[in-house]
């Protein structure tokens, strides 16, 4: 039997964790002696190097280094090309990182890693979720669950400190932002509402700080550092270091040089907070919206939990305290809490497997908590619907989006909607599956479609379209003929943004041949 591990696949840092023999989730240290691994890959020729060494090379070899790939998960157009001409999709770069994490666990514990629970931002839609599963498969792992990051964080806090009541998880990572409100009690973790922004994180704070530093450098006689790949990579590295310094001190100095001009710039925390205030406001607005979506007011929120390294910024904690009327919890390292929660979910998977296979889980450790078997009830992060011609219109181009499963529905979820044929003797029915909660098709995204043969009826014949949303937020659809009472067909959404099965198999074969450093 191989190990089942929890993996936090982050935009800037990743981590792996397991429940140990004493029933406590713990981070597994990587081969470099670190608890977290930079989500950075550098290619020396065709050999990928993962982690700290790759990150340190970003400023000197920017064209050979790929980072922040999580933001491109589910984007079929994104490619990274090595200097040798090999092209990689985001799933494959992520698979390299996952493979490195799994190998590090194997080095630390002995034995093989075969299965994993991988976390994703709660606001990830279908395409990046499936891309994450594909990345794990390409890395050679059986991905048992994809778990929402805020839920993982709450799970880690709840098992460690017996959290009880209404909890808000504010998760600001390197590249993504999520807020989730849940009710915790008696081992139940019931998500009430969730929302987020997959393009908001520490990376964006760095970008604004880079612009500020570049403007000041140019104003003092230097040339723009954003016009050269190497100079820009060096600026990003120094901006990130400055941001981290300002977490603990009120001001820092940044040394910038280009084209024979060198300047020492003084940067204060107040200046950093001023230039990034719009980003902080976006997180505040989303947090307030989620509290409202949960049917609550801020005084009803008992605890605020922080996840993601970007929550270390003092401005974040001050804003949360002012908004919630209480200080956020700080008992667990925000860089590690999501991986710890994933480890707990991985342990629950192992318990289920043991009981299903042998009827006993006696050989597995018992969680060192009063909550020995937590139960998670999550919600949909995105609405699901179908495109249809408006009932009030005869124009086939006059479409609307009909939401069938709204956002924040409890999962697993099943819901149905009745549609009618629009032509006499219509013999085919096209189901276009959409993602989003707007009725205007311009503001939703088609994630899959299927054309089904139907009997020839008069216009207005009713057909029932049933959507099912499973625990991993994978979508399946069934269509029923309400005239005959017979099923027409079923299908799963195979998102056009994702890799085909043959592409996944080819990428898996290529991954087996790679030696990671």
Q: How far apart are CA 406 and CA 225, in angstroms?
A: 46
The answer to whether the CB of 344 falls within 8 A of the CB of 374 is yes
Task: Give all domains of the chain, ordered by start, each with its CATH number.
Answer: 3-162+329-376 (3.30.420.40), 384-492 (2.60.34.10)
Report pLDDT for 378.
85
- Mean of pLDDT values over 413-431: 93
Q: How far apart are CA 212 and CA 259, in angstroms?
A: 19
Backbone angles phi, psi at 145, to 5 degrees: -155, 150
What confidence category does residue 448 fall into, taking pLDDT thresholds of 50, 70 and 90? confident
The answer to whether the CB of 258 falls within 8 A of the CB of 228 is yes
Q: Which of 276-285, 373-382, 404-413, 444-453 has the highest mean pLDDT?
A: 276-285
- Mean of pLDDT values over 420-442: 92
What lies within 8 Å, CB to CB, of 77 at 6+ separation is none
- Mean of pLDDT values over 265-273: 96
- Pairing state between β 399-405 and 445-457: unpaired
Report pLDDT for 469.
84
CA-CA-CA-CA torsion for 328, 330, 334, 336, nearest 10 degrees?
-140
Distance of CA 429 to the CA centre of its chain: 34
What confidence category does residue 19 fall into, taking pLDDT thresholds of 50, 70 and 90? very high
Q: Return the minimum-mean-pLDDT range out of 33-37, 262-266, 363-367, 481-485.
A: 363-367
CA-CA-CA-CA torsion for 9, 15, 18, 23, nearest 10 degrees?
-120
- Mean of pLDDT values over 165-179: 93
pLDDT in tens, 108-117: 998 899 999 9
Distance of CA 217 to the CA centre of its chain: 35
- Mean of pLDDT values over 99-118: 94
Report pLDDT for 379.
86
What confidence category does residue 504 fall into, taking pLDDT thresholds of 50, 70 and 90? very high
Report pLDDT for 31.
94
Q: Take residue 40 and report the two structure tokens written for it.
A: 């950075």
The answer to whether the CB of 482 falls within 8 A of the CB of 465 is no
Angle CA(510)–CA(515)–CA(508) in degrees, nearest 5? 25
Q: How far apart are CA 337 and CA 333, in angstroms?
A: 6
Q: Judge whether residue 42 has pLDDT over 60.
A: yes
Distance of CA 200 to the CA centre of its chain: 12
Please indicate whether residue 359 or residue 391 has the higher confidence score (pLDDT): 391
- Mean of pLDDT values over 345-360: 79
315: helix, coil or strand? helix
* Selection from 104, 122, 127 nearest residue 16 by Cα: 104
What percent of the chain lies above the pLDDT cut of 90? 68
The average confidence (pLDDT) of the chain is 90
Q: Judge whether residue 361 has pLDDT over 80.
A: no
What lies within 8 Å, CB to CB, of 413 at 6+ separation is 380, 405, 467, 468, 469
- Mean of pLDDT values over 432-441: 91
Report pLDDT for 329.
87
Q: Judge whether residue 466 has pLDDT over 90.
A: yes
Residue found by looking up tokens 């936090």 in the block: 8
Report pLDDT for 39.
96
> 250 to each of 67, 269, 314, how far by Cα in Å?
29, 5, 10
Q: Judge whether residue 54 has pLDDT over 80.
A: yes
Q: How far apart are CA 286 and CA 271, in angstroms?
A: 24
Report pLDDT for 395.
75
Q: How far apart are CA 322 and CA 477, in angstroms?
A: 45
What confidence category does residue 159 fall into, taking pLDDT thresholds of 50, 70 and 90? confident
Please indicate whether residue 516 or residue 300 has the higher confidence score (pLDDT): 300
- Pairing state between β 188-197 and 375-377: parallel
What confidence category does residue 367 fall into, taking pLDDT thresholds of 50, 70 and 90? confident
335: helix, coil or strand? coil
Report pLDDT for 362.
62
What confidence category does residue 264 fall into, taking pLDDT thresholds of 50, 70 and 90? very high
- Mean of pLDDT values over 401-423: 92
What confidence category does residue 162 fall into, taking pLDDT thresholds of 50, 70 and 90? low
Q: Take residue 110 and report the two structure tokens written for it.
A: 């002995």
Q: Take residue 412 and report the two structure tokens written for it.
A: 């697993």
What confidence category does residue 471 fall into, taking pLDDT thresholds of 50, 70 and 90? confident
What confidence category does residue 358 fall into, taking pLDDT thresholds of 50, 70 and 90? low
Q: Judge whether residue 58 has pLDDT over 60.
A: yes
Angle CA(277)–CA(282)–CA(286) in degrees, nearest 5? 150
Q: Take residue 23 and report the two structure tokens written for it.
A: 């029933």
pLDDT in tens, 473-493: 678 899 999 999 999 999 887
Report pLDDT for 492.
81
Report pLDDT for 279.
96
């Amino acid at each position: 039997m191989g190990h089942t591990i929890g993996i936090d696949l982050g935009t800037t840092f990743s981590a792996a964790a397991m429940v140990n023999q004493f029933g406590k989730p713990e981070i597994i240290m990587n081969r470099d002696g670190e608890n977290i691994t930079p989500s950075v890959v550098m290619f020396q020729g065709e050999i990928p190097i993962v982690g700290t060494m790759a990150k340190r090379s970003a400023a000197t070899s920017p064209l050979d280094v790929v980072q922040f790939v999580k933001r491109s998960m589910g984007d079929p157009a994104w490619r990274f090309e090595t200097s040798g001409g090999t092209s990689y999709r985001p799933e494959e770069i992520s698979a390299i990182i996952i493979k490195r994490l799994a190998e590090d666990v194997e080095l630390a514990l002995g034995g093989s890693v075969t299965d994993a629970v991988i976390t994703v931002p709660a606001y990830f839609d279908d395409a990046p979720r499936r891309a994450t599963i594909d990345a794990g498969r390409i890395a050679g792992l059986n991905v048992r669950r994809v778990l929402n990051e805020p839920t993982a964080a709450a799970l880690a806090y709840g098992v460690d400190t017996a959290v009880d009541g209404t909890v808000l998880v504010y998760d600001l990572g390197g590249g993504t932002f999520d807020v989730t409100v849940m009710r915790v009690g008696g081992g139940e973790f019931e998500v009430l509402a969730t929302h987020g922004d997959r393009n908001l994180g520490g990376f964006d704070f760095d970008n604004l700080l880079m612009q500020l530093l570049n403007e000041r450098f140019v104003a003092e006689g230097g040339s723009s550092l954003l016009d050269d790949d190497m100079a820009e990579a060096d600026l990003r590295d120094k901006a990130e270091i400055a941001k981290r310094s300002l977490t603990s001190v009120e001001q820092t100095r940044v040394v910038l040089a280009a084209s024979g001009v060198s300047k020492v710039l003084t940067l204060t925390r107040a200046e950093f907070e001023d230039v990034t205030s719009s980003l902080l406001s976006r997180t505040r607005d989303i947090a307030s919206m989620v509290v409202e979506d949960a049917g609550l007011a801020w005084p009803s929120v008992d605890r605020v939990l922080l996840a993601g390294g970007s929550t270390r910024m003092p401005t974040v904690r001050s804003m949360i305290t002012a908004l919630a009327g209480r200080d956020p919890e700080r008992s667990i390292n925000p860089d590690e809490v999501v991986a710890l929660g994933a480890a707990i979910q991985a342990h629950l998977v192992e318990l289920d497997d043991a009981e299903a296979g042998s009827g006993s889980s006696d050989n597995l450790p018992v969680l060192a908590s009063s909550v020995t078997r937590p139960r998670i009830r999550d919600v949909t992060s995105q609405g699901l619907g179908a495109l249809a011609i408006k009932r009030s219109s005869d124009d086939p181009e006059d479409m609307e989006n009909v939401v069938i499963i709204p956002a924040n529905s409890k999962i697993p979820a099943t819901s149905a909607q009745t549609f009618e044929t629009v032509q006499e003797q219509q013999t085919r029915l096209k189901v276009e599956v959409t993602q989003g909660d707007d009725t205007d098709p311009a503001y939703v995204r088609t994630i899959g479609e299927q054309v089904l043969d139907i009997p020839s009826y008069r216009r207005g014949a009713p057909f029932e379209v049933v959507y099912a949303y499973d625990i991993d937020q994978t979508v399946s659809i069934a269509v029923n003929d309400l005239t005959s009472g017979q099923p027409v067909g079923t299908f799963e959404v195979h998102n056009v943004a994702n890799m085909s099965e043959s592409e996944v198999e080819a990428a898996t074969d290529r991954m087996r041949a790679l030696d990671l450093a």
